[in-house]
Structure 1
Amino acid sequence: MKKNIHPDYDYVVFRDGSCGKTFRIRSTCKPSETIVWEDGKTYPLYNLDVSSASHPAYTGEQRKVSSEGRVARFKQRFGSRGLKKAD
């Protein structure tokens, strides 16, 4: 690799603002805030709006779509002419 062209790659702590969960990973971002991590060392802190700890798709709290309502609307709209039995 060429020298002096790659950004610094070091540990950064990311904090999810909606649930308060923090995690430490390596990154090239350089935030101005710092935090003392569980190991007693000080790391740069990057605040996030949403992470996998709070996003509904990853936590399983996403809204379930009612298929019963869709079928009723379909029957109301098209009646029995839209539904044909398979042979």
Structure 2
Amino acid sequence: MRKGIHPENYRLVAFKDMSNEEVFITKSTVDVKETIDIDGVEYPLVKLEISRTSHPYYTGKMKLVDTAGRIDKFRSKYDKFKK
């Protein structure tokens, strides 16, 4: 490995899957502004739309994940072009 090019500020960070509220903690260097309290310990929080706990490849189940109403936004945007 080349020296001096890798970050050294690794710390524990909580990642939260917003589709099923699952939280997992791992080390990361990501900069975030939000935090979450887990068992009395405060962690930086990264919100994910999909993770291994909700992705159909890992769960074996197909399901529609509509975060932030994307389908509704799409439909309302293109409704005006209907004849």
TM range, smaller chain: 0.5 to 0.7
Unaligned stretches of 5+ in structure 2? 64-83
| Alpha-carbon separation, structure 1, partners of 2:3 and 2:57 | 40
Distance 2:17 2:54 in 1: 8
Q: Give 1:30 shift.
A: 1.6
Secondary structure at the counterpart of residue 35 of structure 2: strand
Note the aligned Cα RMSD (angstroms): 2.2
Residues 1:50 and 2:37 aligned together: no
Using structure 1 for the length normalisation, give the TM-score: 0.62
Structure 1, unpaired ranges of 5+? 64-87
Deviations 1:34-84 (A, max 9, x none): 01012x110100000000000000001149xxxxxxxxxxxxxxxxxxxxx
TM-score w.r.t. the length of structure 2 is 0.65
Q: Which runs of 4+ in 1 moved over 2 A?
A: none
Preserved CA contact (<8 Å) 2:7 2:29 = no
**Percent identity at matched positions?**
39
Structure 1 distance, partners of 2:58, 2:3, is 39
In our comparison, the structure showing a higher alpha carbon Rg is: 1
Kindly tell me the number of residue pairs found equivalent between the two proteins. Answer: 62
